Amino acid sequence: MSYQVLSRKWRPQQFADVLGQEHVVRTLQNALERDRVAHAYIFTGPRGVGKTTAARILAKTLNCRQREGAVPCNTCPSCTEITRGNNLDVLEIDAASNRGIDEIRELREAVKYPPTAGLYRIYIIDEVHMLTTQAFNALLKTLEEPPQHVVFILATTDPQKVPQTILSRTQRFDFRRVSVTEIAGLLGKILSHENIASTATALQLLARKADGSIRDALSLLDQVIAYQTEQVDEATVADILGLVDDDYFRDLAAAIARHDMKAVLAQIEITFDRGYDLQEIAQGFNLYLRDALLTIETGDPTLTSKGSLVEIPGDLQTADLLALLQIGMETENQMRYARQPRVLLEHQWLKMASLDRSVSIAELLGKLDPGPQGATVPAQSPVPAQSPAPAQTPAPAKTAQPATENPRQAAAPGAVAEPKPLPPGPSEPAQPLQPPATAPPPGRSFRRQNGDNPGAASTAEPQAKSTGADIEAVKAKGGNIMTAIESRSAATASILDGAQISSLEDDRLGIHLRAGEAIHLDMLMARKGLVEEIIEQQTGQRLSMVPTIPESAQAAAGQTATPPADEAISYLIKTFNGEDY
C-alpha cells in the first residue's frame, strides 16, 4: 500500500517537532546535552499526545553517533532504522499482548547481551499498566539495576494501575493534552502542504473534536479529506463527523425557556430523523449551555467552545442556565448506561422545560412588602421561583409616620418597643399586643436568682399591662417559675432567661424575650405546654403563654415596619424553597 496516513507521515522525528510538551522536551534535551540520562523513564498521559513518539526520538538520539547535542542527524543507519522500526537495538514491546511473567523472564535474559550496533539497547514498553502483578514483580530488580547499556522507556495512559514500586524506580513525565490552537495550527500547516484549502472554523471543529489528541485530529482530517478533497470547510466537517449546528441547540433552548414541551419533543424527533448520536446531542447541548454562561458572565468569545459568543433565547439568566446545566450533566452521565436513551433524553429535557424561571430576591421583596416610601431593597442573588405561598391575613393598619433617614437606627432612650407576635401555638392562637397608652410600673423578669429575692425588678424591662387578672401574683413568682422550669428543661430555662412579663389579658400572659432571640421563638412554642403547666402550679392560674420580641425603633414610633433584609431573605428562601447563592 503506497498511501501513508497523516498520523504516520507527520510523526515528529526530533524534539523540536513535538507539539505541546515543552516541559518534557526541555528536560530530556538537557539530560542528553549534560550526559545525565537515567536508566528508566515512564511517560504518562492521554492517548495521542506523543508518548511513544518522544520515546522513539529519545532512543534515536541516544544511539545516533552524529547527533549535535540533543538533535539526531536522521541520516545515519541507526536513525533511519529506528524511523522505519527495524532497528535491532530498539525493541518496542506491547504490554497488552506480552503481559505475562514468561515474557518478562525472557526480557531479563535478553538485557544481558550488549547492543549490536548502537550505544544502548533500549526497551520501549507501551501500555505498561497492562502487565500482570507477577510480571511487575519480576521486572523490579532488572528495572532498578539494569546493565549500563540498557535504557527502559515505559509508556502508559493509566498510571494509577502501575505499582508504586515501579514508579519509584523511574523518572516520570506527565504528557498533557494539546491545546485547540496548537492542533488547529498543525492541521492548517498540513493542509497547506497538501495543497488543500480550508477554513479556520473547520479546523477549530476538528481540533475540538480531537479533545487534545493529535493522533485523533490527524485521523479525523484523513477522513474529511477522503470525503472532500477540494476544500475542508465547516459544512463538510459537520456532515462527516455528524456534528449538530448551534441553530438546533438555540431552538431547543428557546423551547425550554418558554416551557413549550411540544417543541422540545419535536427537537428530539429531529435527532432521530437525522440519525444523530444521542450521546453527542447531550454533550453538544451541555457545551451550548456552558458557552451561554460564559457569554453572560464574561463576554469573552475566546473562552467559548467555538470561539464565538452564542445567542441566548428567552432572556435566560445565570441561575436558569446553571439549573439546566446541572440536569444536562446528569443526563450525559446516565446516557452511558441507559437501555432506552431516547426515553431518558425526553424525560430530562421535559424536566428542563418544566422548571420555573428564576427571580431575584429583590423582586420578591418588592412584591411582598414595598417598605417605607423611598426605601430601596438591596439586590440579591436570584433563586428558583416556586408556587406562591398561601395568602396571609393582613396585620392591623398602623398610623403612618415620617420615614427616618436610617430605618434601622436605635430607638430613643426611654422608648418602649412594640412586641412582635409569634405564630399561633399548638393550643391557642397568639394575637399581637399593642403598647399601652400610659406607662405602668415596670414588670418583672424571668431571671435565674442567686439570692432570696426571686423575680427582682429590672430597670430596663418593658412596661406591663393588665386588664384585671392578677398579674402581680405571676410577677412575684417569677423566680420560682424559672427554678421549676430549669429543673424540668434547662434548654427552656435558657431561652426564658431575661424574658419580661409584658401583659396579662384575658388569661393570655405576654412574655417578652430578649432582643435578638427571635430564633428561639419556635423552640419555646414547642415547649409551650411545659411552661404553662409550671406557671399554673406556681400561681394557681391557668394562663396561655404568648411570647413576643421587641420591634425596631421605627415600629415603636408608630411607623410602618419593614423587616430587616436578612430576616426577609430567610423568610422568602424558606417559603419559596429557594437557594442562597
Domain boundary among 354, 374, 406: 354
Whether 451 is in a domain gets the answer yes
Whether 563 is in a domain gets the answer no
Specify the pLDDT at position 308: 79
Specify the pLDDT at position 304: 82
Q: Are residues 332 and 211 in the same domain?
A: no
More confident residue, 30 or 434: 30
pLDDT tens readout for residues 54-112: 999 999 999 999 999 899 999 999 999 999 989 999 999 999 998 899 999 999 999 99
Identity of the residue numbered 580: D
Specify the pLDDT at position 117: 87
Average pLDDT over residues 108-117: 91
Domain boundary among 174, 191, 209: 174
Whether 377 is in a domain gets the answer no
In terms of Cα–Cα distance, which of 247, 382, 276, 386 is closest to 322? Answer: 382
Q: Are residues 331 and 259 in the same domain?
A: yes
Least confident of 40-44, 182-186, 188-192, 470-474: 470-474
More confident residue, 539 or 14: 14
Specify the pLDDT at position 303: 83
What percent of the chain stands above pLDDT 90?
42
Q: Are residues 479 and 506 in the same domain?
A: yes
Average pLDDT over residues 356-383: 59
Specify the pLDDT at position 544: 87
Specify the pLDDT at position 300: 86
pLDDT band at 570 (very low <50, low <70, confident <90, very high): low
The CATH number for 158's domain is 3.40.50.300
pLDDT band at 560 (very low <50, low <70, confident <90, very high): very low
Specify the pLDDT at position 191: 93
∠ Cα 82 83 87 (to 5°):
25
The CATH number for 346's domain is 1.20.272.10
Residue 20 zone, left/alpha/beta (φ > 0; ψ -120 to 50; rest): left
Q: Are residues 11 and 71 in the same domain?
A: yes
- How many Å from the N-terminal Cα to the C-terminal Cα in the chain? 62
Average pLDDT over residues 470-478: 79
Range of the domain at 130: 6-174
Specify the pLDDT at position 350: 93
* Cell numbers found for residue 504: 396579662
pLDDT band at 50 (very low <50, low <70, confident <90, very high): very high
What is the rounded average pLDDT for all residues in the chain? 79
Whether 251 is in a domain gets the answer yes
Whether 456 is in a domain gets the answer yes
Mutual orientation of helices 246-257 and 318-335 as an angle, nearest 10°? 120
Q: Are residues 147 and 21 in the same domain?
A: yes
pLDDT band at 399 (very low <50, low <70, confident <90, very high): very low
Sheet strand arrangement including 150-156 = 90-94, 121-126, 150-156, 40-44, 171-174
The top-scoring range by mean pLDDT among 123-132, 301-310, 469-478 is 123-132
H-assigned helices in 34-154: 51-63, 77-84, 101-110, 133-144
Q: Are residues 330 and 458 in the same domain?
A: no
The top-scoring range by mean pLDDT among 173-187, 366-380, 471-485, 496-510 is 173-187
Whether 527 is in a domain gets the answer yes
pLDDT tens readout for residues 298-313: 888 888 877 778 888 8
pLDDT band at 1 (very low <50, low <70, confident <90, very high): low
Specify the pLDDT at position 387: 42
More confident residue, 568 or 348: 348
Q: Are residues 130 and 10 in the same domain?
A: yes
The CATH number for 194's domain is 1.10.8.60
pLDDT band at 168 (very low <50, low <70, confident <90, very high): very high
Specify the pLDDT at position 528: 84
Alpha-carbon distances of 299 from 205, 321, 372, rounded to whole Å: 21, 15, 38
pLDDT band at 360 (very low <50, low <70, confident <90, very high): low
Q: Are residues 296 and 276 in the same domain?
A: yes
Whether 420 is in a domain gets the answer no
The CATH number for 516's domain is 3.30.300.180
pLDDT over threshold 70, residue 199: yes
* 0.75 exceeded by pTM: no
pLDDT over threshold 50, residue 428: no
Q: How far apart are CA 56 and CA 61, in angstroms?
A: 8
How many domains does the chain fold into? 4
List, as own/partner pairs, every contact residues 97-103 make where C-beta atoms lie below 8 angstroms and the sequence separation is at least 24, other chains included.
99/130, 99/131, 99/132, 99/135, 100/132, 100/134, 100/135, 101/132, 101/134, 101/135, 101/138, 103/135
Dihedral angle computed from the Cα positions of residues 335, 341, 347 and 351, in that order, rounded to the nearest 10 degrees: 30
pLDDT over threshold 80, residue 432: no
Average pLDDT over residues 151-162: 95
In sequence order, the 6+-apart residues with CB closer than 8 A to the CB of 34 are none
Average pLDDT over residues 230-234: 86
Specify the pLDDT at position 477: 82
In terms of Cα–Cα distance, which of 31, 37, 38, 27 is closest to 145? Answer: 38
Whether 386 is in a domain gets the answer no
Beta carbons within 10 angstroms of residue 546's beta carbon:
26
Specify the pLDDT at position 453: 41
Q: Are residues 264 and 337 in the same domain?
A: yes
Specify the pLDDT at position 425: 44
Q: Are residues 90 and 27 in the same domain?
A: yes
Specify the pLDDT at position 442: 43
pLDDT over threshold 50, residue 426: no
Q: Are residues 236 and 320 in the same domain?
A: no
In terms of Cα–Cα distance, which of 519, 514, 526 is closest to 571? Answer: 519
pLDDT over threshold 50, residue 436: no
In sequence order, the 6+-apart residues with CB closer than 8 A to the CB of 80 are 74
pLDDT band at 414 (very low <50, low <70, confident <90, very high): very low
Q: Are residues 111 and 192 in the same domain?
A: no
Identity of the residue numbered 352: M
Average pLDDT over residues 280-295: 90
Domain boundary among 204, 226, 241: 241
